């Protein structure tokens, strides 16, 4: 059973951190295509929905900003829409908050609104709550892990501690991972309420792991960056090749990691594949 970060204590020498959407759970595309993008278009009165939704999907799914926090993605897409002539109103307060707030979640947005309310902040909160509600009520039967995730996590959890490190909210993470029987293979959950993924890894380093004893598993440049700023290793789940990526993780990469052979040529090889995939879309 998972524990809150404040109660978590290190059990094994090594730790594997796993992102959720688009990495372990095959939920990323459907969430953006059915909820995030369309609901943003609704909330901001977008006229050219086709262009807006194409921009939304490129920013969130098929570029170097893949996996970016929802509020940062909202700002980026709204700015592009504004530049293309959409009347979305003043988003100055939202932009400043998304760029500078230490934590980007509904709760931190509510706190910002309590300090200094503005229409753009209010709209962003309404949108974000509608997204959560839609995902929770309409996707409950459709979310599923990628092939090989349960088997891979079960094997990995026998060898290392396992943490979920995600920018999704913890309530959704617990719901999805419990529904698919993944949570027994997890020791601790770091959702968006804890802060960024980099913050989560920094906190996990305080639990007693050496930097070369932590491996971050993710599918987006932000996951790699969170690992890099903390000096820990990164293993990419290649979008479109998720099953292959999980098989390689559990059958090859984890052994390299535990034997302290991950640094250098091996990590450079898997990162090279990841960067080449992203470069096809940028």
Domains, the chain, in order of start with CATH, read 5-26+145-279 (3.40.50.1000), 28-139 (no CATH)
Confidence of residue 282 (pLDDT cuts 50, 70, 90): low
For residues 213 and 258, what is the distance between their CA atoms, to the nearest angstrom? Answer: 8
Quick one: average pLDDT of 109-128? 96
CA distances to 62, 127, 182, 276 from 145, rounded to whole Å, are 20, 26, 9, 25
Q: What is the pLDDT of residue 53?
A: 98
Q: What is the pLDDT of residue 67?
A: 85
- Phi then psi dihedrals of residue 112, to 5 deg: -65, -40
pTM attached to this predicted model: 0.84
Please give the DSSP secondary-structure letter assigned to residue 230: T
3 state SS of 13 = coil
Sign of CA dihedral 10, 68, 150, 4: positive
For residues 105 and 170, what is the distance between their CA atoms, to the nearest angstrom? Answer: 11
Q: What is the pLDDT of residue 278?
A: 87
Burial annotation 218-239 (CB, 10 A radius, 16+ → b, else e): bbbbbbbbbbbebebbbbbbbb
Q: Lowest mean pLDDT: which of 147-161, 181-195, 246-260? A: 181-195
Give me 222's structure tokens: 């932000």
Sign of CA dihedral 271, 76, 108, 124: negative
**Average predicted confidence (pLDDT) for the chain:** 94
Q: What is the pLDDT of residue 2?
A: 62
| Cα–Cα–Cα angle for 259, 265, 271, rounded to 5 degrees | 105
Element (H, E) at 222: helix 221-229
Q: Which residue in this structure is represented by tokens 């939202």?
A: 94
Residue 1 reports pLDDT greater than 80: no
Q: What is the pLDDT of residue 208?
A: 97
The string of pLDDT tens digits covering residues 131-164 is 999 988 888 778 899 999 999 999 999 999 999 9
Neighbour tally for 97: CB within 10 Å: 21
- Residue of 22, 25, 8 whose CA lies nearest to 162: 8
Q: What is the pLDDT of residue 207?
A: 97
The string of pLDDT tens digits covering residues 202-231 is 999 999 999 999 999 999 999 999 999 999
């Amino acid at each position: 059973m998972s524990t809150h970060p404040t109660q978590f204590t290190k059990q094994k020498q090594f730790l594997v951190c796993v992102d959720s959407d688009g990495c372990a759970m095959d939920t990323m595309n459907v969430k953006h295509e059915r909820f995030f993008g369309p609901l943003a278009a609704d909330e901001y009165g977008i006229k050219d929905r086709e262009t807006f939704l194409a921009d939304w999907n490129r920013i969130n799914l098929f570029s170097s900003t893949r996996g970016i926090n929802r509020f940062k993605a909202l700002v980026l897409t709204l700015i592009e829409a504004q530049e293309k002539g959409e009347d979305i109103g003043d988003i100055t307060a939202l932009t400043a908050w998304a760029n500078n707030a230490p934590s980007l979640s509904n709760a931190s947005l509510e706190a910002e609104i309590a300090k200094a309310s503005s229409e753009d902040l209010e709209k962003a909160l309404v949108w974000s709550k509608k997204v959560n509600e839609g995902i929770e009520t309409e996707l409950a039967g459709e979310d599923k892990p990628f092939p090989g995730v349960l088997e891979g996590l079960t094997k990995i959890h026998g060898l290392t501690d396992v943490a979920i490190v995600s920018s999704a909210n913890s309530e959704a993470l617990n719901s999805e991972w419990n529904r698919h029987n993944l949570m027994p293979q997890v020791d601790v959950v770091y959702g968006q309420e804890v802060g960024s993924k980099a913050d989560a890894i920094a906190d996990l380093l305080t639990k007693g792991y050496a930097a070369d004893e932590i491996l971050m598993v993710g599918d987006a440049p932000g996951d790699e960056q969170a690992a890099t700023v903390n000096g820990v290793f990164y293993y990419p789940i290649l979008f479109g090749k998720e099953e292959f990526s999980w098989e390689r993780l559990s059958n090859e990469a984890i052994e390299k990691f535990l034997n302290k052979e991950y640094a250098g040529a091996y990590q450079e090889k898997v990162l090279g594949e990841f960067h080449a995939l992203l470069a096809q879309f940028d």
